[in-house]
């Protein structure tokens, strides 16, 4: 089942990020959509759309619990100090256009070497 943002009451992106100046790992929450106005009376909490909750040091699963603390541990104003976590596939899945064009030319030349037709000569 595919759900669209238009049909959702609340949408959030969750992403692990590293704070660039300290190399600490955080879980970032970014609200994309809220259908209804928040009933929260505190204006600051009502406007909260982005925050970063720290992970326990050396642990990529467990967040630091701040429920009983007087002040939350989440950061909400240091978005520029974070960078995406580099996973097995890298930071991006985008293929450089020049690299893609070079692969296409190489494939076409290989087909021509074997006597096949050239894909560039035909329009589909």
110 and 68 in a single domain? The answer is: no
pTM assigned to the model: 0.57
Bridging pattern class, strands 10-19 and 82-84 = antiparallel
13 and 74 in a single domain? The answer is: yes
74 and 108 in a single domain? The answer is: no
Residue-number span of the structural domain to which 110 is assigned: 94-124
Q: Are 76 and 52 in contact (CB under 8 A)?
A: yes
The verdict on residue 57 lying in a domain is yes
Residue 49: partners with Cβ closer than 8 Å, 6 or more residues away:
30, 31
98 and 79 in a single domain? The answer is: no
In the chain, the number of structural domains is 2
pLDDT digits (tens, 9 = 90+) for 15-48: 998 888 888 899 999 888 888 877 777 777 777 7
pLDDT digits (tens, 9 = 90+) for 59-97: 999 999 999 999 989 987 655 555 666 666 655 545 556
Query: How far, in whole angstroms, is CA 122 from its chain's centroid?
Result: 39
109 and 57 in a single domain? The answer is: no
* Residue in 102, 78, 98 with CA at minimum distance from that of residue 17: 78
Residue 87 three-state SS: strand
10 and 69 in a single domain? The answer is: yes
């Amino acid at each position: 089942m595919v759900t669209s943002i238009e049909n959702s009451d609340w949408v959030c992106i969750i992403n692990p990020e590293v704070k660039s100046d300290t190399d600490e790992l955080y879980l970032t929450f970014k609200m994309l959509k809220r259908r209804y106005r928040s009933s929260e009376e505190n204006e600051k909490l009502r406007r909260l759309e982005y925050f970063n909750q720290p992970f326990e040091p050396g642990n990529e699963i467990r967040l630091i619990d701040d429920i009983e603390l007087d002040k939350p541990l989440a950061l909400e104003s240091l978005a520029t100090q974070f960078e995406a976590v580099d996973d097995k596939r890298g930071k991006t899945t985008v293929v450089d256009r020049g690299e893609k064009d070079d692969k296409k030319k190489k494939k076409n030349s290989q087909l021509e070497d074997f006597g096949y037709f050239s894909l560039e000569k035909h329009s589909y």
